[in-house]
């Protein structure tokens, strides 16, 4: 079936995606997973060129997008760090994106300024996918998080989701809150005092009827259906002394999970530093590596959908 819902659409924030679009993406990702499992590749973008502009470090997002494009048969061009581009000579991102839009059919962009992806997307005619804009949004991560929750728990509706760690600078949790919004979530926020969820997001969610509880311990956060751990975002701190004070605030241990709630689904966008002890990896519900793997299917779905391709099985 043709997937008209996202054709030529920019993917900038999960705030802009409605429930129908979210469910269509998850369905398309499931089709992509089936196709890759059965055939390895699904060459439906052979007439397409995709530009990857990664001006901030990335492993998962960049490589899963590139793997997605390769499996779809697309041609690609890429900038893997700002230092190898003319940004180093003082070129603006706006100029760079306008130039690249003349070469490609779709741009995937990661850069450090919150809101700038939306600004530059408005200046070009081809779709732009925000692959992380500073401490703003990371919508494709939230979509793969949704896909993972749905696969692991068999549902998305009415879940209690605990978000732990750096809720101030962590763009993945900002996007995940809005991606879950149409599914009647209950949120538990667990963060050091200086790294609370921005009040603009908390107030917005509350104004939409979402129940939010703020807790101070991992024991309390573990009483949820999903425990979403995050890294303290060292690179976003204006003062590294403050980072040193806050790092290690919450460290999840296997024994604590077994003692408090062995059934909790444990997610993390990765990379992790020290907030999940490696022994937690042994638990069957520790799903963060499966979560990263799912990113490729979700990004295959997004690329095919924004470029208006038919997805077999959809
Ligand atoms: N989760 C995530 O965005 O990882 P990378 O920074 O490695 O892309």
- 166 bridge partner residues: none
Of the residues 64, 269, 291, which should be mutated to test ligand 1's pocket, given the most ligand atoms within 8 Å of the CB? Answer: 269
Do 233 and 243 contact (CB within 8 A), yes or no? no
Ligand 1 within 6 A of CB of 64: no
Of the residues 134, 236, 271, which should be mutated to test ligand 1's pocket, given the most ligand atoms within 8 Å of the CB? Answer: 271
Q: pTM of whole model > 0.85?
A: yes
List, for residues 87-99, the tens digit of each pLDDT value: 999 999 999 999 9
| Mean of the per-residue pLDDT values of the chain | 96
- DSSP 8-state symbol, 195: G
List, for residues 229-277, the tens digit of each pLDDT value: 999 999 999 889 999 888 988 999 999 999 999 999 999 999 999 999 9
Q: Can you give the residue ranges of every domain in the chain?
A: 4-138+295-306, 139-292
Reference 117, options 13, 5, 15, 201; nearest CA is: 13
Average pLDDT over residues 9-34: 97
Q: Which atom of ligand 1 is least distant from the CA of 63? A: 8
Ligand 1 within 6 A of CB of 58: yes
Q: What integer pLDDT is reported at residue 281 of this predicted model? A: 98
Ligand 1 within 6 A of CB of 269: yes
Using DSSP, state whether 203 is helix, strand or coil.
Answer: helix
CA distance 296 to 23: 17
List, for residues 119-170, the tens digit of each pLDDT value: 999 999 999 999 999 999 999 999 999 999 999 999 999 999 999 999 999 9
CA distance 236 to 241: 12
Q: How many CB atoms lie within 10 A of CB 252?
A: 23
Please provide residue 59's backbone torsions phi and psi, each rounded to the nearest 5 degrees: -110, -65
Do the first three CATH levels of 4-138+295-306 and 139-292 match, i.e. the same topology?
yes
- Ligand 1 center from residue 235 Cα (angstroms): 13
Query: Tokens in use for 109?
Result: 């962009």
Topology at the third CATH level for domain 139-292 = Rossmann fold (3.40.50)
CATH class (in words) of the domain with range 4-138+295-306: alpha beta
CA distance 89 to 91: 6
Q: What integer pLDDT is reported at residue 269 of this predicted model? A: 98
Nearest protein Cα to ligand 1, atom 6: 58
- Ligand 1 center from residue 172 Cα (angstroms): 9
List, for residues 33-73, the tens digit of each pLDDT value: 999 999 999 999 999 999 999 999 999 999 999 999 999 99
Reference 55, options 98, 88, 27; nearest CA is: 88
CA distance 153 to 190: 22
């Amino acid at each position: 079936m043709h997937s008209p819902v996202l054709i030529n659409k920019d993917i900038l924030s999960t705030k802009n995606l409605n429930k129908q679009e979210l469910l269509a993406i998850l369905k398309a990702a499931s089709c992509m997973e089936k196709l890759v499992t059965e055939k390895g590749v699904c060459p439906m973008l052979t007439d397409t060129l995709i530009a990857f502009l990664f001006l901030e470090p990335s492993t998962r997002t960049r490589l899963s997008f590139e793997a997605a494009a390769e499996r779809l048969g697309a041609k690609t061009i890429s900038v893997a760090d700002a230092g190898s581009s003319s940004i180093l000579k003082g070129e603006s991102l706006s100029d760079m994106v306008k130039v690249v839009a003349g070469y490609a059919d779709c741009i995937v962009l990661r850069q450090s300024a919150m809101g700038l992806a939306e600004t530059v997307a408005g200046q070009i005619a081809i779709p732009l996918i925000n692959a992380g804009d500073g401490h703003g949004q990371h919508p494709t991560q939230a979509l793969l998080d949704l896909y993972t929750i749905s696969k692991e728990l068999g549902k998305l509706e009415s879940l209690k989701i605990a978000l732990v760690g750096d809720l101030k600078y962590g763009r993945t949790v900002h996007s995940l809150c809005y991606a879950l919004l149409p599914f009647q979530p209950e949120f538990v926020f667990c963060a050091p005092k200086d790294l609370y969820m921005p009040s603009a997001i908390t107030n917005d969610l509350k104004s939409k009827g979402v129940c939010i509880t703020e807790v101070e311990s991992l024991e309390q956060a573990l009483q949820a259906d999903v425990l979403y751990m995050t890294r303290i975002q060292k690179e976003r701190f204006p003062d590294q002394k403050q980072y040193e004070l806050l790092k290690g605030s919450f460290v999840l241990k296997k024994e604590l999970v077994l003692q408090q709630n062995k059934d909790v689904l444990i997610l993390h966008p990765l990379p992790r530093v020290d907030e999940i002890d490696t022994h937690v990896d042994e638990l069957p519900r520790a799903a963060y590596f499966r979560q990263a793997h799912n990113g490729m299917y979700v990004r295959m779905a997004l690329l095919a959908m924004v470029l208006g391709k038919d997805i077999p099985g959809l």
